[in-house]
């Protein structure tokens, strides 16, 4: 064995990582052996940059829930990824769900988080609601929407943060040439929607508008599959108007105590940055960030804006 590989194997960080992997595998085997009864998860879904992070960080602040402090698209891809469907998208549908997927997800959560109710926020899951519902028929789905003008502008700002939200770090090299905004972007960011190939040479604002439209349409199309008491529908703008009341309702629906600590946390939501976005939440950012680009795509988003309650 080359000396370089020996030194690598003796690296304390690599040893620690390998021990973690072994311990996770052992706990997964324990799960399969004893089959503990776990509650179905809570899935937070919405278009990226729609307020999913601030909502997730608020809900996961409850001591009654388990969660990862990050998204887990790689895990969901391991069950069903874009390569399983000729790279059509990162979406998954009801017919893609298999009983073994539920077992693997439960073993994954149990081995890393313990026994309890998990809340998961992975941006690709807005395109996987029917799939997740088939695996977890008693799961809660918290769907958050945001004014398309602000949401698309925020997506554009995220795309401009070179490499931070790019998909190749999770998916590997895409099987098509991407040249968005006249070659400024050679990779997709945030998530790969169905029909993404049609926008590989589009202006940035059109690609982002398509992401917003697709994410929200897929959520609304899946909504009838979910029982009324398991579907919680939120508006990003309520974080500014009534954050305490907004999350009081969420926790009541989840049947989880809304403690004084959580109330205090919610009372200052519109004054704090999240772990993803610099600066506190703000309405109508598009007017100062990308006004001309957003004006161009208004005809594309008008009908869905009206459907979501945002008349132009």
What's the pLDDT score for residue 7? 53
What's the pLDDT score for residue 247? 97
Average pLDDT over residues 187-200: 98
What's the pLDDT score for residue 5? 58
Tens-digit pLDDT profile for residues 60-82:
999 999 999 999 999 999 999 99
What's the pLDDT score for residue 233? 98
What's the pLDDT score for residue 284? 79
Cβ(300)–Cβ(73) under 8 Å?
no
Residue 2: exposure state from Cβ atoms within 10 A (0-12, 13-18, ≥19)? exposed
Residue 270's pLDDT band (boundaries 50, 70, 90)? Answer: confident
How many Å apart are CA 152 and CA 145, to the nearest integer? Answer: 12
Cβ(118)–Cβ(72) under 8 Å?
no
Higher-scoring residue by pLDDT: 17, 187: 187
Q: In 141-174, which positions are buried (b, 16+ CB within 10 angstroms) versus exposed (e)?
A: bbbbbbbbbbbbbbbbbbbbeeeebbbeeebeeb
Measured in Å, how far apart are the chain's first and last C-alpha atoms? 66
How many Å apart are CA 92 and CA 84, to the nearest integer? Answer: 10
Average pLDDT over residues 86-108: 97
Higher-scoring residue by pLDDT: 164, 275: 164
Higher-scoring residue by pLDDT: 21, 59: 59
Q: In 121-136, which positions are buried (b, 16+ CB within 10 angstroms) versus exposed (e)?
A: bbbbbbbbbbbbbbbb
Q: Provide the greatest CA pair distance for the chain.
A: 67
Percent of the chain past pLDDT 90, that is, above it, reads 83
Residue 277's pLDDT band (boundaries 50, 70, 90)? Answer: low
What's the pLDDT score for residue 288? 87
Tens-digit pLDDT profile for residues 216-253:
999 999 999 999 999 999 999 999 889 999 999 999 99
The whole-model pTM stands at: 0.91
Tens-digit pLDDT profile for residues 112-144:
999 999 999 999 999 999 999 999 999 999 999
Is the pLDDT at 269 greater than 90? The verdict is: no
Q: Which of 92-101, 120-129, 149-158, 278-287 has the lowest mean pLDDT?
A: 278-287
Tens-digit pLDDT profile for residues 3-49:
555 555 555 655 555 556 678 999 999 999 999 999 999 999 999 99
Residue 3 falls in which region: left (phi positive, over 0), alpha (psi -120 to 50) or beta: alpha
What's the pLDDT score for residue 283? 74
Q: Which fold has domain 38-307?
A: Rossmann fold (3.40.50)
Note the residue count of the chain.
312
What's the pLDDT score for residue 19? 58
């Amino acid at each position: 064995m080359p000396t370089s590989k020996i030194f690598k194997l003796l690296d304390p960080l690599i040893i620690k990582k390998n021990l973690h992997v072994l311990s996770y595998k052992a706990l997964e085997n324990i799960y399969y052996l004893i089959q503990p009864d776990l509650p179905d998860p809570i899935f937070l879904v919405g278009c990226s940059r729609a307020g999913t992070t601030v909502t997730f960080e608020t809900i996961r602040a409850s001591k009654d829930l388990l969660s990862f402090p990050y998204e887990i698209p790689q895990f969901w891809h391991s069950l069903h990824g874009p390569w399983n469907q000729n790279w059509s998208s990162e979406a998954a549908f009801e017919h893609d769900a298999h009983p073994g997927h539920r077992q693997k997800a439960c073993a994954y959560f149990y081995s890393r988080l313990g026994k309890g109710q998990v809340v998961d926020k992975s941006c690709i899951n807005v395109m996987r609601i029917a799939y997740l519902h088939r695996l977890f028929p008693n799961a809660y789905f918290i769907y958050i929407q945001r004014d398309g003008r602000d949401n698309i502008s925020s997506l554009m700002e995220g795309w401009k943060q070179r490499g931070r939200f790019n998909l190749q770090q999770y998916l590997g090299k895409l099987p098509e040439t991407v040249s968005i905004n006249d070659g400024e972007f050679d990779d997709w960011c945030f998530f790969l929607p169905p029909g993404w190939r049609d926008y590989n040479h589009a202006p940035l604002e059109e690609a982002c508008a398509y992401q917003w439209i697709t994410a929200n349409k897929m959520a609304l199309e899946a909504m009838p599959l979910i029982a009324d008491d398991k579907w919680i529908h939120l508006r990003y703008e309520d974080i500014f108007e009534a954050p305490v009341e907004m999350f009081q309702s969420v926790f009541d629906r989840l049947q989880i105590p809304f403690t004084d600590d959580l109330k205090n946390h919610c009372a200052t939501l519109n004054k704090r940055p999240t772990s993803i976005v610099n600066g506190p939440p703000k309405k109508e950012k598009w007017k100062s960030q990308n006004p001309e680009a957003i004006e161009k795509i208004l005809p594309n988003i008008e009908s869905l804006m009206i459907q979501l309650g945002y008349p132009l």
